[in-house]
Amino acid sequence: MDLVGKAKRVRIYLNEEDRVGRSWAPEAILGFLRGEGAQGASVFRGVEGFGATGVMHVSHLPDVARKLPIVVEWVDRPDRVERLLAHLKGMVPHGFITVDDTEIVLYEPYPVRELPKALTAGDIMKREVTSVARDTPVRRVVELMLGREYRTVPVLDDGAPVGIISNGDLVQRGGLGVRLELLASLDKPDIHDVLERLATGGKVAADVMTPAPVTVGAATPLPRVAEVMAHRRLKRLPVVDDRGKCVGMVSRVDLLRTAARGFPGGEEKPWEPGLAGDTPLSEVMRRDVPVVFPDTPLPEIFQAIISTRLHRALVVDAERRVLGLVTDADLLDRLTPSLRPSALRSLMHRLPFAHPTKGELSTEHHATARRAADLMTTDVPTAPESALLSTAIGAMLRGNQKVLAVVDGSGRLAGIVDRADLLHGLVSSGGLDQGAAPRPG
């Protein structure tokens, strides 16, 4: 998705002495926004101003130089602003925040470049890590992970990772019964019922975690981090210091986002033949694409979505031109509430969509969202199969989807790639060095 169009502008007014914990407040705010996938933010230092105290702060008075006004400005999609604003409000120690509508008329991101050896896991990791202890109740784990972009938490013992809890761990061993993405789509009473059921189960983090997690050192070069994640099929890794203490988390999307933004310092240079970015999408895409048509009814949509690990299906016309996308979360969000129990059973157990009661059959008959056209989103990034990875990574990250539709020279669907496919392409095409080995958990 192109970022051009309607957007929100957030301004956070601080002064130079404000801090969040031990960090300088603007630095902490930028770190949080970067870790949550925000499109970009800047910090501006004022030369004069006053706030609620009425005290004038000016740059030419030495005794107040450390209290100059600071403005953090962030422009992004309205949905992302809405998702992150509550956390930002809790971070700001003093000052005030404004939000206003704006319009982006030009958005030309820097070209994608290969992951340089100079950058390490510590350079791109998310430093504010949500973690739990061995005895943290599973209900609390789920509450911490709900609504977050990164749905994985490390389990720490005296600061060192002894386990990690993912979506799959909660479903397979925690008794959650529904992936977090789907749980977030339910109404609050339904979510409350799920959390209450977890509380009565009595399980704690140690009961559901994957022990001895793979970790990387903060000094591990990014190419090696990418190789570990691709070959072990991991979405996220804890980052540890020389003492084995957790100092951050690095994700697959962090690596792809770094490659898509260019890097501070150093000269810009084009992709060189033989490096990962010169690999065409046709060599990394999957051709077994789950597809439906605009008039496809609910049962067949469910069957397409549960047929692969992608949890989604592309909507195409008779000529196989991409019209939209339907995800499992879209289904739950847009279905009539009384149909959601059957929908959850189908999605979680990969079973055909069935209606065991006459009431549900009657509800479906009167529901407005009964076809793919009623449920799909048209926000689907696409790229030609001849496009290079260097172009495809940027195209996917500019959108709000986790997949990229690949089309042939006539604009017809040829395949699909997700983040794992792109990262695997970077690694397998020879553009990443071996570097240091990962630390054992």
Residue 189, C-beta contacts closer than 8 angstroms, at least 6 positions apart: none
User: Which fold would CATH assign to domain 283-428?
Assistant: CBS-domain (3.10.580)
Residue 180, C-beta contacts closer than 8 angstroms, at least 6 positions apart: 142, 145, 146, 151, 167, 170
Distance CA 140, CA 132 (A): 9
Distance CA 102, CA 7 (A): 5
According to DSSP, the β-strands at 312-316 and 291-292 are: parallel
Range list for CATH 3.30.70.120 in the chain: 5-104
Given a contact cutoff of 8 angstroms between Cβ atoms, the answer to whether 148 and 154 are in contact is: no
Q: Hey, what long-range contacts does 249-252 have (CB within 8 A, 24 or more apart)?
A: 249/125, 249/126, 249/129, 249/150, 249/152, 249/154, 250/121, 250/124, 250/125, 250/126, 250/216, 250/225, 251/126, 251/150, 252/419, 252/420, 252/423
CATH 3.30.1280.10 fits 5-104, yes or no: no
What architecture is the 121-261 domain classified under in CATH? Answer: Roll (3.10)
Range list for CATH 3.10.580.10 in the chain: 121-261, 283-428
pLDDT in tens, the chain (441 residues): 456 678 899 999 988 888 888 788 888 888 888 767 677 789 988 767 665 555 555 544 444 445 678 899 999 888 888 888 888 888 887 778 999 999 888 766 555 555 555 688 998 898 888 899 999 999 999 988 886 767 889 999 999 999 999 988 888 888 887 777 777 767 777 778 888 888 888 899 999 999 999 999 999 988 888 889 888 888 899 999 999 999 999 998 888 877 765 533 333 333 332 335 567 889 889 998 999 999 998 778 877 887 777 888 999 999 999 999 988 777 766 665 555 556 655 555 555 555 545 544 444 444 456 788 988 888 888 999 998 887 788 778 776 678 999 999 899 999 999 988 888 887 765 444 433 344 444
Given a contact cutoff of 8 angstroms between Cβ atoms, the answer to whether 93 and 20 are in contact is: yes
The strand pairing partners of 104, in sequence order, are 5
Best CA proximity match to 47, nearest among 64, 35, 33: 64
